[in-house]
Each structure stands twice: as structure tokens, then as C-alpha cells.
Chains A and B, each alone.
Chain A
Amino acid sequence: MSNENNQSKPTPPVAAAAAERGHRRLWDLTRGERLRYGAAVASMTLGVMLTLIVPVVWLGAIDAIAGQLGAPGGDGPAATSPQSQDAQGPDRQGGDAQGGDAQGRDAQGRDAQGRDARGQGVQGLSGNRSQPVEAWFADLAAERGLRNTLLIAAGLGVLLTVLAGACHYLRGRWSAQSAERIVRRLRERLYGHLSELPCRELERLDTGDLVQRCTSDVETVKTFLSVQVVEIGRAALLLLCVLPLLVWLHPLMAAVSLALFPFIIALAVVFFRRIKTAFQAADEAEARMTSVLQENLTGIRVVRAFARQEFEQDKFAAANAEHRDLTARLIRLLGDYWAVSDGLCFMQLGAVFLTGGWLMSRGALSLGEFVAFQVLVTMVIWPVRQLGRLLTDSGKAVVSLGRLEEVLRIPEEDDGTQGQVAPPSVPLHGELELAGLGFAFEAQDEPVLDDVSLRVEPGQTLALLGPPGSGKSVLIQLLLRLYDGYAGSIRLDGRELSTLPRKDVRAQIGAVLAEPFLYSRTIADNVRVGWADAPEDALHQATSSAAIHEAVVGFRDGYETLVGERGVTLSGGQRQRLALARALLKDPAILVLDDALSAVDTHTEAHILEALRARRGRRTTIIISHRLSSVVHADQIVVLERGRVVQAGTHAELTAREGPYERLWRIQGALEATIGETA
């Protein structure tokens, strides 16, 4: 489902240089693992070779048996008769000494001999052959007797398999180790990258899409590295190794044995490319069904409240049936494919069977070779058939890699000092001065802040009032250096904000936002976000000041209670108070409350404000609120409208003159009067 969404996501514009950096980054990820990967490939190659030798051993053993059977009645130049063994001697040596040339001659001679030997009964099974393997086994049989020869062959088969198995194990171990290490590094790089992205960038991106990239796309890359690369390599190696082996054993049979392979691979590639849309359709139908289900379950109270069960059931039934039908269709297509592909594979095996049988009956192929061909082709054909699908699937990894690069290419936040040497981060006193501050999201946009000037002495409390969209929150974001690019000046303890390292600034400000974010960890963990190693009593003091300690103690697991779906569900007010406790525990030079007590009831709020007043004179506080109760005691109240300061002063000053603040205050007065009346 998300594929479509993902593709349509605007890719952040990036310079070509940055793109290249992204590529290199991914290649860099594999650093340190390349050697191990290489070892895995080497081990796999060795394993494949050893595996392929096993049928050749059987070939020799079977021919030795066939030779023994042929011996009693053998009147021709049977391989196992004493004379023919002698006769084979030089031939074999020649083959050993002169390599390929000798083999070429060998093959020609074999054909001629085959024709001669035709119709010679069991001799046909042993063939008039001079393969070194056969000869070696024949010698062995003559020396040690057949029983020992067979035991040696069987033992050799087991030994080779064990060795091949060891290679297989090492390959599996090494490739998994390197793939997992690479993927782990990728995961951590993404994680670290995300928290270094500028807020403006993150606001543009979709959370679900980002998370999906970091999980399923990484998973796709991982499957590629740990499974597909290895499987493709194995199939290719098998094919590469079996080809010379088959040709060496019998060129004509080799040609017949591999005749259908190109078609089998081609069919797979074409089919799996074609079927993509059916896969996609089924996936999308599943996503739709899941989303209907999720909507229903999250809104189950609304469904009940409006008695809409039937409506919902119809909706789900449609999605459920669509999912069923599209998946069934996909499986049907797969069924067609596997049936046809199986048919091709068995036709290939059938060709080996019939041609082999025919050659054998003409004495041009030994029984051992006949068996070896069947075994070898069977060994290779199934992995090779998977090759087509693997090749198509691995295309997904390329797409995923691209999507991950897109994320990694988004430039990270710099340290914010504009190249100047960062001054040593001394604790701030909390003096804040804005002069002619202006800010707009885009140059052409109307400014969100316009010529704002104010000054807060260390330890003072500043209250910001104003309707939504008046620029209060943006001011805070600028102060926290979450947004860049303001006009005018912001000075902290006399130093221009844009020259201070971002993280140093943030470390000195404790901000509580209206919709606070809590981690799904324990309550203690959540508060300790403010100060990781805070001692118990500091923790409790912070929560007491935030008027949440009592509530926490009331939970069954107290401070160890989990927050979130698997633990307690906190009310909005409780969440805000926990977030406040977190900021208080940090004990910052400047405390910022951005509409941070909106969900706290008035009684509790009073308690909290009382606690905050204790900080007065020691720490600077900035309060944004809709409630006058929160702001009346501030040293300075600033009313913002459309990004401009329309009023500033103390409560007494502002109530004394006409204006927005005084109007708010009068409404308040009117209410007091009503209460007085009715009381």
C-alpha cells in the first residue's frame, strides 16, 4: 500500500555531490566486512565443488560394480577384464599427462568404440571408457576387492559431504555475520541521522513513511545481503562448476542436459517481472483490509454509539472479499507458473533420462555416468530455477537502497555556530534580549514574527499572550534553535544565538510543549529524560513541584509503571505534568512553558504556579498561556498579535490602560460578578 505513497513523496532536493556522498555512505557501510564476505564466497565455492564431486565418486563405484558384473560373461574389451585394464593403463596416463587434448581424442575414440560395442549386454553398462575416475576405481577393485572399494567409495561420499557441509556452515555463518553487522550499522546510522535532521525537514516528511523506510526497506536490503546474494551466487556457481564437469564427463550428454536451462531461467525472469502487478494488487488489497479493520477497532466506541455495526460489517466484508479474491488470483497465477516450470524441469530430466538410456544402450555411456548425469542435473536444476525469481526479487533491494539513500541524503543540522569557534559552554544566567526579531517560513511568505523587541533579566518571568497564530510558539522554536534564519537579533547573556552551538543552547533551556511527548518507558525513565542520573529525591522533588508525584505513587507500580499502550493511559493533564517534571528536573537556566498546563485543572495549576514561583529570581521563566491565572504574576506580560508586539508591561500597567489585555481582564471581572451574584 505504502509503495505508491512512498514513490509520490517529494524527494528533498539535493545537490549531486550530496547524492554521491549518499552512495559512498552505503558502500562505506560494508567496510570491514568485505574480507569476511569474500571468505564466505570462497567457502561457498569450495563447498559447491565438493558437493559436485560426490556423484562422480558414485559414478566410479557404480561402474566398478557394473564392470564386475560384466567380467564373467565379458568377451569384448570390457573395462574390468584384466586385459582391458592393462590396455587402459597407458590411455589413462595419457589422459592425465596431456589434459584436454587427450580428452578430446578420448571422446572421439569413445564414440567409435561405443558403436563397436553396441549390443554387448552388460558391457553396455560399463562402457568402453577410460575416464580416470573409472579407471581409478577399477584399479582399486582389482587390488582390494570390490567390497573394500565400495566401502571406500561410500566413505569418500560421506567425507566429501561432511567437508562440503563444513563449507556450507562457514559460508552461512560468515555471510550472516557480515550481513547482520552491515544492517546493524545501517539501522543505527538511520536512527542517528533522523535525530540530527532539522525540524523543518522533519515536518515535511511523513512519519509512517520514514518508519517504513527504516524498517521494511532495511529488511529488504538485509534479505538481499544475507539471502539473495548468497543464493544467486550459489546457483551461479553451481551452474559454472557443473558445466565443465558435465562436458568433461560427456560433451553430448552435457549439451542435452543443459538444453532447457535457458528457457527455465527466462521463463522465471519474465514471469516474476510480469506478476509484480498481481503481487502489488494483493498487497494493496491487504493493506486496505487492514486499514478498515484498524479504523473500526480504534473507532469502536463511535461505531457502537451510532449503532453502525451493520454498516461496518458490510465495509469489512467488501475489503475482506477483495483481499481474498486478489490473493487467490495471485496464487492461481503462481500455480500456473510452477506447474509449467516444473514441467520444463522434468522435461529436462526426461531428456537426460532418455538420451542417457539410449547412449548407454549403445555403449557410449557407462551406467555410472548415466546415474551421475541424473544426479548432477537434479542437483543444479532446482537452485537454477530459483535464480529467475531471485534476480527479480533482488531488484527490490535496489529500489529500497535508493529509498534509504534518499533519507540519508537529507542534510543534517550543523552545529549552528556558522563556522565560528564555539565558545566554551558556560552555564547561562538566563538573560534574554530580542531586538527587531523577524521570521518567515519562506522568504515570500508573510512574516510570522515582525520586529519583536523585548528584554528579560535573569530570573524574571515573561508571559506571552496572544491568539493562535500570533507567533508565540515560533518564537520558542527559534529560541531552541529548532528553526534557523531569523532577522534581527536574539541574545542570550549578550551573545548572539546564531553563533552558539545548538546543543549547548538546548541544554540550557527546558521546554514543555502543549502536547508533550512521552516515551513508552517507565514513568521514572520519562522524567529522567531531563537528567539521566538524577538521584531519587531530586526526581521526587521535580514530580512534587509538577503536582504529579501523588498520582504516580497511586499507580500499582509507582515510578516503574510503564507509560503507553502496554502500561497506564495517562490523561492529558497528567502527561503535561510529567513533561513539566521532566523540564524541572533538568533545572535549566530558562524554563519555557508553551501552553503547557492547558489540560491541567485550575486547582492543580495553582499548586504548580506556586511551586514555579519558588524559582523566581533564580531562573528565567517564559510562560505562554491562554489563562490569565497563569500570567498575572509575571514580571512582564507581552501581548502578541500577528507576529507583532501590541502590548507589553506588568499586570498592573496593562490593566490600567485600554487594550486587549484590559479587555480580557474585564470579561474576567464580569464573571466574578456573576459568581458573586449567584452566591
Chain B
Amino acid sequence: MSQVLTLTDEHDDEPQEGVDWALWRRLLQYTRPYRRDVRLLMLGALGAAATEVAFPLLTRVLVDDVAAGTAVDFVGYGLRYAALIALMVASVWLFIYVGGRLRTHIGHDIRRDGFENLQRLSFSYFDRRPVGWLMARMTADCDRLTMILAWGVLDIVWGTALTLGIAAAMLAMNVGLGLLVLAVVPVLAWVSLRFQKRLLLTSRNIRGMNSRITAAYNEHVMGVRTSKIFVREQHDLARFGELTAAMQAASVRNAVLAALYLPLVMTLGSVAAGLALAQGGFSAVAGSISVGTLVAFVTYAGKFFEPVQELAAVFAELQMAQAAAERIVGLVEAEPEIVDGPDVRAAAARGDVHAPMSGALEFRDVCFAYETGEPVLEHFDLVVQPGETIALVGATGGGKSTIVNLLCRFYEPTSGEILIDGVDYRRHGLHWLHAQLGIVSQVPHLFRGTITDNIRYGRLDAGDDEVREAARLAGADDVIAALPDGFDAEVGEGGARLSTGARQLVSFARAILARPRLVVLDEATSSVDTETEERIQAGLEHVLADRTSFVIAHRLSTVRSADRILVIDGGRMLEVGSHAELMARRGRYHALYTRQSLRDVSRVEGAWPV
């Protein structure tokens, strides 16, 4: 699976020449657990095809019977026709029933595996793939593939069986006439394949355009104030007009193409029927075929169109959806970059329990570069005692967040090692580390659900009073009490119904409830007011006693009382020391905080942690 990723459009599958059967076979693995269903599906398809071949044959016999002038056994014909109907009904029911089951189960299984893998994949994977992209893979792509796997298989079996069945019946009745009528089929197949492919291309184009229109509306509504303030309404509308014009053109093109296809196919069908009629009629008069055979030929001639069209559609779709298939297979089979080593996994399997973290940390000659190759952190060394509070200051992009991300093992050092409690942290389990971590970030994410649900995410078995206590310690209780439903208030998608400040408070409470051994605060109080921040700090003082913590902040008030302050810039540690030491040194830190004579007054008071 290629790791090259183009984030152009979510409908960016390119039509590929030929069908990559190896790829489809890999996806067909998903049908393994449902082998019996696949067989039943094929049985249903064959049954339906056989019935369809049989009906004209029955007509043929009846016509010949009538022509012969002998007494016709209508009860017998009734019974035979009824039997065919029963077979048809049973087949239809069977293939819809089984096909539906296959489709839904395979879709479920692919999603399950995809989701499980997404839970293991490293952040570097997500860095390169926006959420929307992943969502499209897990929903639209997945649906499309399962459709192909279930109904495509059905159509291939049914279409092939029906085409072959009709061909066999015709050849059996009369080889010459059969070959004459069959001559139309290759032309039909060629036309169908060409058109189906182009139709798929144009409809893909429309889908892409449609999602752009949706995005345009979304942006329009979200940005309506900007649009008004800058009096951009007409300009925006004109811009949108370009999009709708393109959409209109593409839709008409698609419809015209479809309108052209059907007449072509119909004409080919009438040519086949005409051939059967003219040549068959002559043969009938000459006595080489019966009248019934003639009727059967005329009927068959019109019947090719559907299966051939379906087959062409399936093959076109197989080629078209190949890119989607690759992406799904890629997602399910992608290997996470950060995994527990075999010994750690073996220990976990044995049920070995690690001791809780003491909080002693060490960065030993750690270097890190993102995949782009640019070094973000170079030869970083740091020893942290248990319970120490480390503040990281410096310009954005200087490497502060990288240090924290490495510490949390969201990324691993490119070289060097990080030790926790004296052991390279790769020899601890990922779960062990993360279970003892408490992170509050600048833009905290909350999940849809109530406030209580969100706080409890920190410790799933926490009781209601523990949740409330955590909220109190985080200084969130007042904010929560002010909400209409208090702790039962819905926070909305991503916490959107709460202000950023309130979200930070709730995520604080969540982290407190988790009773972490290692705390990371990444600009965590940037959006709360002074008074609340003071209360948070009071609460944290209590909660975070003797826990190792890392604090990233711009604000002096927040970093002032850290045990040690590191000034990070350009991936290097420029200064280190306490506030007093650094101020005395009159270096970068001093410059950072004195160049500006006046500061953020609303937030000056207090410092974290005291």
C-alpha cells in the first residue's frame, strides 16, 4: 500500500485500466466467514437466471402444441408455469435476503477492523489524514465496496448465467439463427462498457461537486457575519454561481449521456429481434424451425440487453472503485508506527502488573524530526525528579509541544531515548503510560454527551460524587451550575455548546478524576478568567501534590512558580532554571518578559502551581 497521499478530493478515485483481481481477492477474504451465504447467493442468482431462460422455452412448446392442432393440456402448462413462478419467487427472495445479509455483515466486519486499527495507529498517521478523509473511507467507501462485494457477485453470476443460458438455448434450437442473433452481443457489450464507464465518471464528478456545494453552504452560514461586515454578499453569490453552473453542466452532461445510452441499446435490441424475425420467419416457412422456436428467438433477442448491461456496470464499477478498495485495504492493513515490543506484549499476556509510575523522567540525547525531515528537536537532555514541575516557554514552533508529545509517546524519538522510572519507556506498555497520564490542552476536545459523561471519561468507574468533587477541584462547578441542566447538560458535538473556557474547565476535571501520575498542561488555562484560574490552581495544588508535571504557557503568571523553567527555541534548550535565576541571568527569559512593559492585567494574579 502506497503511503503517498493526495488530499485532493474525497472522490478522487481515478479510473484504472483493467481490474486488479489480486486486490479484490484480498477484499473477498471478508466473505470467508459467510461462505455458506455466498453459495446461497449464487444459487439464488442461478435460479433466477434459469427461470428467465425457461419462460420462453415454455412459450415455445405451447405455441408448437397449438400449431400441431392436438388437444393442449392447459392444466399441465398452468402447473409448469406455476412451478417456474415459484422458483423465481424463491430465487429472488433468497438472493435479496442473503445478499442483504452479506452486504451488511461484510460492511460491519470491514468497519470493525478499520476502527480497531484506527485505535492502534500512531498520531503520525492522523497528522496526514484529516478526519473528513477518514470518515469518507469508513462510510462511503466502505458502503460502496460492500455493495460491490455482495450485489456485484450476484450480478456477475446472474448476468453470466443468463447470457450463457440464452446463448445455449438459442444454439440448441438452431445454430445458424443462434449465431446470427448472438452477433449483436459483442457490440452490445462494447457499447455498454464504454457508456457505463463514462456514466460512472460523470456521476463521480457530480458527487465531488456536490460535496463542494455542501462545503460552500457550510462556509457561507458559518461566515455570514464576515460576509455582511465586508459587504461581500454579491461577490460570494457570484462565486457560488460558478460552482452551481459547473454542477448544472455536469448533471446535464450525465443525464444526456444516460439518455443517449438507452436508445443505443434499444436499437441494438431491435436489430437482434429484427434479425430473428426476418431470418427465423423464413426458416419457419421453409420448415427448418417450428413457429414456437421462432417466437422463442424473438423473445430471447430482446433479453440480452439487461444482463449485458448489468455485467458492464459491474466491471466498470470494479475498475472505478479500485482506488477506494486500495484505500480501505490500506486503512485496515496500515501498521502503527508506535507499538509495544514483543516482550512487553508477552508480559501483558502473562498478566504482569507494572508498579505505578514514580514520575522520574529522563530525556537522553533525544532527537526528533517529523516525516518531512526537518529536525524539530536536537540532542535534548533533561532529568526530572518525581514530583517536579517543569515549565516550557518559548516561541510557537520552537519544539515545546514536541517535547510533550514525545513524553506521552504519541511520537517516539528519532534517536536517543526517554526513560521513565529509569527504564526506556518503550519497555513499558503504551497502555501503562497512557493510563497514568493527565493531559489538558489549549483546545480541549469533549465528546458528545453530558458534562458528567465527559468528566467520567477520566475514570469510567467513578461515582457521581467523585465526578462532582473533580469538577469542584477544577473550579468548574460554578460554570456547570450556571448551565440549564447542570451536570446533565449536553455539551454538543466536540463540546461546541460550551465556551472554550468552560471546555477547558471540564477537561481539567476530567484529568483530575483520572488521578494521573504525570500531568501535562498545554496552554490549559489560556481561556479562563483570573478568578477561575486562581481557583483551578488552588485545586490543582491539592490534586497534583507530588506528581510530575509539564506546563506549557506563554503567560508569566502560569510559569513563574514552576520548579524549573526551560526556554525552548529552534528545537534546543536555551536556558533553564527557576524564575528568579532566569530573571537574574537577564537572558532570553528576562527579555521575553520585560520587553513588554505592560501585561495581561486580567490574568496577572496568582501563578500555577503555587
Contact = CB atoms under 8 A, between A and B. Distances in A.
A675 B237 CA distance: 54
B601 A187 contact: no
Contacts of B30: none
Nearest to A515: B500
Interface centre among A58, A68, A165, A599, by most chain B C-beta atoms within 10 angstroms, is A165
B197 interface: no
Given A176-B252, A184-B248, A194-B224, A532 B235 contact: yes
B225 A298 contact: no
A290 B139 contact: yes
Interface stretch (A19-27, A97-105, A303-311): A303-311
B160 interface: no
A506 B258 CA distance: 49
A93 interface: no
B119 A176 contact: no
Given A147-B282, A226-B255, A328-B100, A627 B434 contact: no
Nearest to B430: A307
Given A121-B68, A124-B69, A158-B270, A308 B410 contact: no
B1 interface: no
Contact of A297 (B134, B224, B603): B134
A151 interface: yes
Contacts of A566: 7, 130
B344 interface: no
Contacts of B441: 301
A75 interface: no
Nearest to A54: B270
A620 interface: no
Contact of A157 (B277, B281, B510): B277
A124 B260 CA distance: 42
B69 A120 contact: yes
Interface stretch (B78-86, B162-170, B349-357): B78-86
B434 A125 contact: no
A429 B103 CA distance: 69
A339 B48 CA distance: 11
Contact of B221 (A183, A192, A210, A299): A210
A340 B90 CA distance: 10
B81 A324 contact: no
Contacts of A158: 267, 270-271, 274
B67 A293 contact: no
A358 B104 CA distance: 47
Interface string B61-101: 01101111100101001100110110011101100110111
A68 B259 CA distance: 40
A506 B68 CA distance: 92
A511 B230 CA distance: 8
B35 to A, nearest CB: 18
Interface stretch (A347-355, A536-544, A637-645): A347-355
A480 B74 CA distance: 87
B262 A168 contact: yes
A276 interface: no
Given A291-B448, A293-B139, A294-B131, A215 B514 contact: no
A116 to B, nearest CB: 15
Interface stretch (B105-113, B418-426, B463-471): B105-113
Interface centre among B112, B220, B294, B298, by most chain A C-beta atoms within 10 angstroms, is B220
Contacts of B244: 184, 187-188
Given A188-B240, A529-B232, A678-B579, A293 B135 contact: yes
Given A158-B271, A195-B236, A517-B226, A334 B248 contact: no
Contacts of B22: none
B294 A65 contact: yes
Contacts of B97: 331-332, 335
B277 A320 contact: no
Contacts of B256: 169, 172-173, 176
Contacts of B3: none
Interface string A360-374: 110000010011001
A136 B327 CA distance: 63
A512 to B, nearest CB: 9
Contacts of B108: 320-321, 323-324
Contacts of B231: 503, 506-507
A367 B291 contact: yes
Interface stretch (B318-326, B379-387, B587-595): B587-595
B141 to A, nearest CB: 13
Given A215-B210, A297-B118, A176 B259 contact: yes
B281 A342 contact: no
The secondary structure that dominates the A interface is helix
Interface string A568-601: 0001010000000010001000000000000101
Nearest to B445: A299
A180 B298 contact: no
A65 B262 contact: no
A357 B281 contact: no
B445 A195 contact: no
A293 B115 contact: yes
A627 B554 CA distance: 15
A628 B596 CA distance: 12
A284 interface: no
Contact of B72 (A66, A357, A516): A357
A307 B220 contact: no
A539 B64 CA distance: 88
Nearest to A337: B96
A519 B223 contact: yes
B20 interface: no
Contacts of A297: 118, 126, 131, 134-135
Contact of B217 (A211, A328, A347): A211
Interface in A217-269: 219, 226
A293 B448 CA distance: 12
B487 interface: no
B284 interface: yes
A98 B546 CA distance: 110
Contact of A168 (B236, B259, B291, B430): B259
A353 B74 CA distance: 10
B123 A629 contact: no
Given A147-B282, A324-B107, A667 B448 contact: no
B278 A150 contact: yes
Contact of B278 (A151, A350, A668, A671): A151
24 contacts: A65-B291, A120-B69, A121-B69, A122-B69, A150-B278, A169-B259, A172-B262, A176-B259, A184-B244, A195-B220, A215-B217, A293-B139, A295-B494, A299-B494, A302-B444, A305-B408, A307-B435, A307-B437, A338-B96, A346-B84, A354-B81, A357-B77, A516-B226, A626-B600
Given A157-B270, A188-B241, 12 more contacts: A64-B281, A168-B266, A184-B247, A191-B216, A199-B228, A210-B221, A328-B105, A343-B85, A511-B229, A529-B232, A670-B604, A679-B584
**Sorted from nearest, which 6 A-B pairs have the closest CB atoms?**
A172-B259, A165-B263, A331-B100, A154-B274, A176-B255, A335-B96
